[in-house]
Chain A
Amino acid sequence: MGRMRQAKAEAGAAIAAAVSAAFCLVSFTACAQEVRSKALDPGFSPGSVFVEKDGETLFARICQGCHMVDARGATGAGTYPSLAGNSNLQTGAYAVAVVVNGQRGMPPFGSEMSNDQIVAVVNYVRTHFGNRYMDAVTVEDVRAARR
């Protein structure tokens, strides 16, 4: 199960190659030179803003940290809410506002993501993980949420 989850998480992400290469390195030092010749870090954001562009990658590289690979969240002393089949996502502007301004423990991403990135990730989440909200949010929604 772990492998499947992992595979899903990595699908399409630039990091996939990097990580499997890194595993290869650790396990078999023979392939070290080959690994070094590949660009490993372009997938990471070098500065203060995120470089990921499409919704799937944005989710897999950022949101997944807390909301997990299946978007079902997790619970410890507190809870990261599940985004899967989440009726709060029905109102696109609400989802946009939470991403832009944060909510409780959730950090605001308005400064680290562009309008296009926020549109991409919100539309991705609202049409995946059992969500079928087809009224796509727009850059205008993001502008409205930026206070």
Chain B
Amino acid sequence: MQSEDGIVTRRDLLSLIGALSGSAAMYQAMTSLGLAADSGYKGPIKLDGDPKGASVLILGAGLAGMTAALELRKAGYKVRILEFNDRPGGRNWTLRRGDTYTELGGHMQTCEFEEGLYFNPGPWRIPYHHRGLLDYCKRLGVALEPFIQLNHNAFLHSSDAFGGVPQRIRDIKTDFQGQVSELLAKVVQQDKLDEAVSKQDREMLLSALRSWGALDANYAYKANLISGNFRGYAKGPGGGLDAKPVPGEPINLSDIVKSRLWRHLQNFAAYRFQSTMFQPVGGMDMIGKAFAREVGDLIDYEKKVTAIKQNDGGVTVTYVDLKAPATPQLAKADWCICTIPLSILSQIPTDVGSRMKAAIDAVSYTSSVKVGLQFKRRFWEEDEAIYGGITYTDLPIGQIAYPNSGYNTARKGILLGAYVIDNPVAYELTSMLPSERVALAVELGSRIHPQYRHEYENGISVAWHRVPFTLGCAGYWTDQTRAEHYDNLCQIDGRIVLAGEHASYIPAWQEGAILSSLDAVARLHDRVVKQ
């Protein structure tokens, strides 16, 4: 389509730039216009200039803290990390056979999964545009494999719709798209869109709807081999006698609309969930472990920070050794990068200005619960041909996610049996005992997969508000708190700067932690070398 005279579209501008300056300049222009934009990662950070022996105390050995440690030591700083847990990674965390986990309230669980199987209670997927995290995975040798966000053969489920029978994502998606296309084609044919669609575009739009919606020559979406090409068949094409495919009957548009199953389709459309997504081979904590191979010697484990003070001369942090908590100890450095979650930092006496303090106090923490379940056999693959991906449901378990590795084997498997976040159910599940959450996930999941009853073996659950090292899942920002507090949170306050997913516009994602850390490191270094 031609743009109207006198109006230069973005595309025209890009063609012009490309013609005049070559493709490199065009790429640059595209990026600045936001077209090829990713998370803003600009490649490995370069910290030029001599820090002259300056020391940095980092609080927290999650991805933000370890990113800062890795880059600052490389740039010549003296670095030390204090960490509350007895392991690196923070929320980058994987549970495997023999791991124990005690939540706030004192209930301990022991993971009884078979050797080699695992469950990620925290982050579990990496968008392709989280370039910072991906670059560290590459540099640190973390092997990745695809994470399946959309599996057309997984289910959408509503307790009240279709008699509670789960529907294949493929059927809902295709039938919705097909019938909406049919409706729109009707309107276009009746010339009711004259103002929005020009005469020239009319025929092309009809062709597009026919192609996109799997419509027949009369622009109708029906049970035939055209729609079957998209939605599959009642009886698929085979070989030999009686091999002819039989199309299935589409689900009525009105039933789809009333079922509200369409609301799950955004989980496959949203930018953060688009293909390709990744997961580390063997568990998300492969990333934390890879960082620890680089900076593990700098980490002081099982140290709980109790006060953070600063003056013109440096930073002094009071902490206790969890094995000998009676005697507070001091750690001193020229600078401090604090990655402690705000849910905890807001309770620690911290020498920062009133604006940063107000920002620290302004962010509440999201509620979220996950349950991992082990089954004797991979019935979702064997019985239902579901290989990876996610089933979404309106039951209080939220979703069931299938393992994206070990496909088509006779081994056991782990399902993510519940994942809820930022809704009332998350609080309700948090309030239960860990064993109750697991039992509930088994009971509710059996409504979607009745095989649960015979195949379930053991499970483990993590409610993030009961996680001792975060007291919540992730920083919860509103437009209002962003406007009022975000910049104040991210400023360097004297000798202290904060980092972590809470100091990013990608909350709850590991990329947010890494980008915030790199930004804090760059600004801190700039200040140090200019002193």
Contacts and interface: CB of A to CB of B under 8 A. Distances in A.
A104 B423 CA distance: 19
B394 interface: yes
B364 A108 contact: yes
Interface stretch (B130-138, B190-198, B338-346, B484-492): B338-346
Interface residues of A, number: 50
Nearest to A81: B347
Nearest to A47: B424
B428 A105 contact: no
B440 A62 contact: no
Interface in B354-401: 361, 363-367, 394-396
A108 B425 CA distance: 15
B367 A19 contact: no
A61 B342 contact: no
Per DSSP, are chain A's interface residues mostly helix, strand or loop, or mixed? mixed
Contacts of A46: 394
Interface in A59-81: 60-66, 68-69, 74-80
B149 interface: no
A23 interface: yes
A2 B394 CA distance: 31
A54 B5 CA distance: 66
Contact of B84 (A15, A35, A45, A77): A77
Contact of B428 (A35, A45, A106): A45
Contact of B364 (A75, A78, A106): A106
B442 A26 contact: yes
Given A65-B463, A77-B340, A18 B364 contact: no
Contacts of B365: 105, 107
Interface in A101-143: 102-108, 112
Interface centre among A18, A49, A50, A104 (most CB of B within 10 A): A104
B465 A23 contact: no
Contact of A65 (B107, B366, B427, B470): B427
B159 to A, nearest CB: 7
A18 B395 CA distance: 13
A23 B433 CA distance: 12
Interface in A75-105: 75-80, 102-105
Given A25-B443, A29-B454, 19 more contacts: A15-B432, A19-B432, A21-B443, A22-B442, A43-B428, A44-B424, A49-B424, A51-B424, A60-B431, A62-B424, A68-B105, A74-B104, A75-B104, A76-B104, A77-B304, A78-B343, A78-B348, A103-B361, A112-B424
Interface of A: 2, 6, 9, 15, 18-19, 21-23, 25-26, 29, 32, 35-36, 40-41, 43-51, 60-66, 68-69, 74-80, 102-108, 112
Interface of B: 84, 104-107, 159, 304-305, 340-344, 346-348, 361, 363-367, 394-396, 423-425, 427-428, 430-433, 435-436, 439-440, 442-444, 446-447, 453-454, 456, 463, 465-472, 476
30 contacts: A15-B432, A19-B432, A22-B439, A22-B443, A25-B442, A32-B446, A36-B446, A41-B444, A60-B431, A62-B431, A64-B431, A65-B367, A65-B428, A65-B463, A76-B468, A77-B84, A77-B340, A77-B341, A77-B344, A77-B469, A77-B470, A78-B346, A79-B347, A103-B361, A104-B347, A105-B342, A105-B344, A105-B347, A105-B365, A105-B472
